[in-house]
Amino acid sequence: MSTDDRSWTNDWTVGLRVWVERQGQVILGQGRLDLLEWIDRCHSISAAARQMGISYRHAWVLVQEVNAAAGQPLVEAATGGKHGGGARLTPDGRRAVGLFRGLQEQIRQTAAGLLPRLVAGAGTTRLHVAAAVSLEDVLGQLLTDYALRQPGVRVRLISGASDELAEQILAGAGVDLFLTADPAQVDRLAVLGVVQADTVTALAENTLAAVGPADSPLRVRKAADLLGPDVGRVALAVPSCPLGGYTRTYLDGLGLYDALASRVVWADHSRAVLAAVQAGQADVGLVYHSATATAFGCRVFFRVRRPPSPIRYVGAVVRRSDQAVAAGHFLQFLASRPAARRFRRAGFVPVKGAGDNSRRG
């Protein structure tokens, strides 16, 4: 091997662990950050513990350690009942979570760009990925993760409605990988020979949630409460987009869809539903549960535990891609256990039977 041959670094990756401490005591690391974010969403330590798959006692101890290390309460818990009477982040707790999340991403982005610059002559592969807009936030994090693993691959993300992206791919858009919230779109493109049917891979699942303004006095605990006299406007996604289809199926099954017609504010997708609630144009909105992870200024009224039809995200390599191998490798990463943990932290649901990522069977 010549001294100029640097191909031996092709499989090098960068791993990072970031934590913040005070006087030698850890305040926040990834696990503690996840716990505080779940407490902020659920307003309950016990509910947050269930979401993370840890015991209530362990979660309570972590909260006490966070507060003690910070020197001031980042989480306030009320007493009452076997598992307490609720919990919330203090203003300082919210600021700490935001600062730490920003610190993580800044460090990860910086590290992701270092290795290619240090390894002279490293080749660069460029991938174009068309993805459902509801995946945009979690994919931003996953792209940074992947850049640390494969610094020679650059991914350009194209976000949009699943049906519109499918039409663009069908029309010949230069896309290597398609990620959608509507498996029917992948089926359609596979039948037409536009995507490689044998690459279709399940990535994550989702569910629905009802949200309202953070200071809302409404008590909306189930779908039937949307017809209550105190609920004025309800934001829903238009039926033509995947979220709108899932929402209609859910509400139709309860006999509520037509009954809500006079109250509906229509929006193009999950983010637009959230925007309508945040802008005060609606009292309640039905969104993907994953959207609540970044629903600032909103509170979750209730979560649909078992939607009538599975909300599943799948990906497939576009047949005419000239980077099909690299696209396949990236798709495999998105279906990996590390990616599954990232999806979970972003409010998605792991695919049942993890390890067998085929959507069929």
Number of folded domains that form the chain: 3
Do both 65 and 147 map to the same domain?
no
Over the stretch 58-89, which tens digit does the pLDDT of each residue have?
999 999 999 998 988 999 987 554 444 588 89
Identify the CATH number of the domain in which residue 195 sits.
3.40.190.10
CB 97 within 8 A of CB 27: no
Between CA 161 and CA 269 the distance in angstroms is 8
CB environment 144-168: b (16+ within 10 A), e (fewer) = bbbbbbbbbbebebebbbbbebbeb
Residue 277 banded pLDDT, cuts 50, 70, 90 = very high
Report pLDDT for 169. 94
User: Do 212 and 173 belong to one domain?
Assistant: no
Instruction: Please state the rounded mean pLDDT for residues 19-31.
Output: 86
CB 208 within 8 A of CB 304: yes
- For all residues of the chain together, what is the average pLDDT? 86
Each residue of 177-211: pLDDT tens digit?
Answer: 999 999 999 999 999 999 999 999 999 999 999 99
Tokens (6 digits) for 191: 């039948």
Query: Is 60 exceeded by the pLDDT of residue 355?
Result: no
Rounded Cα–Cα distance for residues 223 and 209 (Å)? 10
Residue 352 falls within a domain, yes or no? no
What's the token pair of residue 16?
């990072």
- Pair 137, 215 in one domain: no
Angle of helix 337-345 relative to helix 324-334, nearest 10 degrees, comes to 60
Task: Evaluate whether 215 touches 202 at the Cβ level (below 8 Å).
Answer: no
**Type of residue found at 106:** Q
Tokens, residue 347: 């409010």
pLDDT of amino acid 119: 57
Same domain, 319 and 191: yes
The answer to whether 292 touches 300, Cβ cutoff 8 Å, is: yes
Query: What are the pLDDT digits (tens) for 204-236?
Result: 999 999 999 988 999 999 999 999 999 999 999
What's the rounded Cα separation, in Å, for the pair 24 and 17? 16
Whether the predicted pLDDT of 99 surpasses 70: yes
Residues 214 and 291 in one domain: yes
Q: Specify whether 328 is located in the same domain as 250.
A: no
pLDDT of residue 359: 45
Regarding whether 178 and 225 lie in a shared domain, the answer is: no
- Token readout for 59 is 């979660």
The domain of 338 spans: 124-204+311-345
Query: Can you give the pLDDT at residue 83?
Result: 46
Residue 110 lies in a domain: no
Q: Confirm whether 270 is domain-assigned.
A: yes
Burial class, 314, CB count within 10 angstroms (exposed 0-12 / middle 13-18 / buried 19+):
buried
Same domain, 218 and 294: yes
| Residue 187 belongs to a domain | yes
**pLDDT of 42:** 84
Q: In this structure, is residue 5 part of a structural domain?
A: no
- Quick one: 188 and 324 in the same domain? yes
336: its two tokens: 């990996």
- In Å, how far are 180, 202, 331, 357 from 316, measured between CA atoms? 9, 9, 8, 12
pTM of the model: 0.65
Q: Is the domain of 156 the same as that of 288?
A: no
> Residue 23 region, left (φ>0) first, then alpha (ψ -120 to 50), else beta?
left
Task: Please report which confidence band the pLDDT of residue 52 belongs to, taking 50, 70 and 90 as the band edges.
Answer: confident
Average pLDDT over residues 106-134: 74
With respect to residue 117, please indicate whether it lies within any of the assigned structural domains. Answer: no
